[in-house]
A and B are shown apart, each in its own frame.
Chain A
Amino acid sequence: MVTVRFASDHSIRVAFGEGISPDCHREVRRFWALLSAENIGGVLSLHPAYNSLLVSFDPRVTRGPELLETLQALVRLPDRFPLPESRLVEIPVCYGNPMGPDLEQVAELAGLTAEKVVALHSGAEYLVYFLGFSPGFPYLGGMPEEISAPRLAAPRRQVPAGSVAIGGKQTGIYPVSSPGGWQLIGRTPRTLFFPGQRPPTLLQMGDRVRFVPISPGDYERLKSREEAIG
């Protein structure tokens, strides 16, 4: 059951379900692609998430009730709109100390060896549900539950850019250095956020992601190559 309701006088929330599932997310993605192509006047931005899409608009330019009607009509359209292509992106990760200072703790909590945590984390394929929190931060689905780990009691003031982390049942990558409360298990040399470029992020909603373990030597080599490309 799809609901289309005002979230404020300048935004409309379109919800496709309640839980988190790839099926529901496909609807979000399809509708996001449709709205991106429609390019409706007065719409400022589209924010997809697990099961909803937030449409922000300028009430100086477009009347709220009219936009609501337009969205209600578009949502009823049969699923003719093609789903955008889904890419597979490999993210190299140097797991463990010093770049993943919490790996041992995550392993201990899970009753596993660090090697097993790495094997499980890098053995799964993840879906980028959406980017949120900070520019380019991917909300990934598909992490094996055995390696869930609670958020830190006190968030770190500064998590280095590229840190790969586990928070509860989720895993993610910090694109920019920021405060963060997830447990850090490794770091990628890849840049996830390019402020001046279009698109400005490495990952996009709907991408599939695999983590590939690399050595500290590989990390340094890839990092300097990444910096040379700039």
Chain B
Amino acid sequence: MARLRVVRPGLQTTVQDLGRYGFAHFGISASGAADPVSFRLGNRLAGNPEGSPALEMTLVGGEFEFEEPAVVAAAGADFAATMDRSPFPPWTSVQVEKGQTLCFSACRRGARGYLCIRGGLRIPPVLGSASTHLFSAMGGYQGRALKKGDLLEYAPVRTGAPPQPARPPESMIFGGNPVRLRVTAGPQLDFFPPEARALFSASLYQVSEEFSRMGLRLGGPAVTARERSEMVTEGVSLGAVQIAGNGRPILLFVEHQTTGGYPKIANVISADLHRIGQLRPGDQVRFEFATLEDAWSLLQEQEALLRSLGQEDA
């Protein structure tokens, strides 16, 4: 077994897969890649099943030394990577030789990038998944973000590059500027009077510094629920838009608390969830209401596009 040595970990680099499902009744949210679209494509570029364990980097990437040859691919936000000081192209598979070092710097647009290694990282699954759940220190590499000197195992591969899916359109990954997030009605939409709903969908919101895999606090106009709107704590969905006491939205993300007591005005549609993973502090967001039927057909279109990206160059 070959090892990947962490020379510099980056801001928050974790092992992820597509999540740990089926444990919500124990209070465990699914976790998994913050931008699963880029993650899946990255794995396909590396010649892996879409859910193979890979590294997720956040805002500032890391530096990694390969003990043995490998076939790797970088996907997601562009971290201006270099291999032994030469530019390293993202969205394609690259042969790495024994002893080479791959260095990611900071990304200028988006927030998360993926480093996928052919054969996948060898990470013992916890409750069926390799994904790191930082809040509960579970899964991934010792339940935490990587540190300098960590050694991650992979199977050394020397043989040729797999078929290359085409690069996805940027708009699909990032969702434009301002970032458009389409939402359906949340379970407590009727807590909010029509003028509050109108304000919510007409306003630009800004991603604050409180941004994590658990959730993102947004700044912008306060949206106020009707008086005496009280609810008891209930289960929450990935991508729910909670309105906190101060009237500002909180986007619940991959490591969200599994229950919440704030009203949920809306919920980001499945086809746009991966864009939350590319939001960075300062980004502008606009919410746009859609019907459930639209949400499902947009998801089908997106899945069809992802499949076609894989076939064009095969």
Chain A positions within 8 Å of B, measured between CB atoms, are 5-11, 13, 18-20, 32, 44-54, 56, 59-60, 63-64, 130-137, 139, 175-176, 178, 193, 195-196, 198-201, 204-205
Residue from A6, A44, A50, A195 in contact with B22 in the complex, judged by beta carbons closer than 8 Å: A44
On whether A135 and B26 interact (CB within 8 A), knowing A50-B232, A176-B136, A195-B126, the answer reads: yes
Contacts A44-B21, A130-B25, A131-B25 given; 17 further ones with Cβ under 8 A?
A7-B267, A8-B268, A9-B295, A9-B299, A10-B239, A45-B23, A46-B25, A50-B234, A51-B232, A52-B235, A54-B24, A59-B299, A131-B27, A133-B258, A136-B26, A175-B27, A195-B136
- In the complex, the answer to whether B30 meets A44 with C-beta atoms within 8 Å is yes
Which residues between 1 and 31 of chain B lie within 8 Å of chain A, taking CB atoms? 21-28, 30
Are A132's CB and B237's CB within 8 A? no
Whether B27 contacts A9 by the Cβ 8 Å rule is no
Q: How many angstroms from the CA of A196 to the CA of B268 in the assembled complex?
A: 31
A139-B233 contact, Cβ under 8 Å, with A8-B184, A8-B239: yes
B164 CB, nearest partner CB in chain A, Å: 24
Q: Which residues of A contact B22 (CB under 8 A)?
A: 44-45
Chain B residues in 8 Å Cβ range of A64: 292, 296
Task: Tell me the complex Cα distance, A131–B233, Å.
Answer: 11
Flag if A195 contacts B21 (CB, 8 Å). Answer: no
Residues of A within 8 A of B270 (CB): 9-10, 59-60
> Which of B62-70, B102-110, B137-145, B167-175 touches A?
B137-145
A5 & B187 in contact (Cβ 8 Å cutoff): yes
Task: Say yes or no: is B257 at the interface (Cβ < 8 Å to chain A).
Answer: yes
Say yes or no: A134-B27 contact (C-beta < 8 A), given A5-B187, A8-B240, A176-B137: yes
- Contact B25 A32, beta carbon cutoff 8 Å: yes
Whether A132 contacts B30 by the Cβ 8 Å rule is no
Pairwise interchain contact A54-B232, C-beta atoms closer than 8 A: no
Q: In the assembled complex, which residues on chain A have CB atoms less than 8 Å from the CB atom of B259?
A: 47, 49, 130, 132-133, 139
> Which B residues fall within an 8 A CB radius of A?
21-28, 30, 126-127, 133, 135-139, 143, 184, 186-187, 232-240, 257-259, 264, 267-270, 292, 295-296, 299, 303
Of B27, B234, B237, B268, which one neighbours A133 at CB under 8 angstroms? B27
Is the beta-carbon distance between B27 and A137 smaller than 8 angstroms?
Answer: yes
Instruction: Provide the bound-state CA to CA distance between A51 and B170, in Å.
Output: 43
User: B296 and A59: CB pair below 8 A?
Assistant: yes
The interface residues of chain A lying within 8 Å CB-to-CB of B269 are 8-9
Task: Flag if B240 contacts A45 (CB, 8 Å).
Answer: no
10 closest Cβ pairs, A-B complex: A47-B235, A132-B259, A54-B235, A8-B267, A45-B24, A9-B295, A131-B27, A47-B24, A195-B138, A11-B237
Complex: A191 Cα to B303 Cα, angstroms:
42
For B184, list chain A residues within 8 Å (CB): 6, 8-9
**A195 touches which one: B143, B258, B296 (CB < 8 A)?**
B143
Task: Please give the distance in Å from A163's CB to the nearest CB on chain B.
Answer: 15
In Å, the complex CA distance between A135 and B143 comes to 14
Shortest CB distance B270–A (Å): 5
Which chain B positions have C-beta within 8 A of A20? 232
A56–B27 contact, CB under 8 A?
A: no
**Is A13 in contact with B234, judged by CB distance below 8 angstroms?**
yes
Which residues from chain A contact B135 at a C-beta distance below 8 Å?
A: 134, 176, 178
Give the distance to chain A from B275, nearest Cβ to Cβ, in Å: 15
Residues of chain B with a CB closer than 8 A to A178's CB: 135
Selected contact of B235 from candidates A9, A18, A53, A193, CB within 8 Å: A53
Query: Would you call A45 and B21 a contact (CB within 8 A)?
Result: yes
Question: In the assembly, what is the distance between CA of A7 and CA of B267, in Å?
Answer: 8
In the complex, chain B residues whose CB is within 8 Å of the CB of A133: 27, 257-259
Given known contacts A47-B25, A196-B127, A132 and B233 CB-to-CB distance under 8 angstroms: yes
Instruction: For the complex, give the distance between the alpha carbons of A54 and B233 in Å.
Output: 12
Which residues on the B side are within 8 Å of A10 (C-beta)? Answer: 237-239, 270
Residue of B nearest to A178 (CB): B135
- Do B136 and A9 have beta carbons less than 8 Å apart? no
Q: Which residues of A contact B186 (CB under 8 A)?
A: 7-8
Q: Contacts of B296 on A, CB cut-off 8 Å?
A: 9, 59, 63-64
Chain A CB count within 10 A is highest, among B21, B239, B259, for B259
* A residues less than 8 Å from B299 (CB atoms): 9, 59-60
Please give, as numbers and ranges, the residues of chain B lying within 8 Å of A131 by CB-CB distance. 25-27, 258
**Once the chains are docked, how many angstroms separate the CA of A59 from the CA of B296?**
7
Shortest C-beta distance, B265 to chain A (Å), equals 12
Known contacts: A133-B258, A199-B26. The answer to whether A48 contacts B232 by CB under 8 A is no
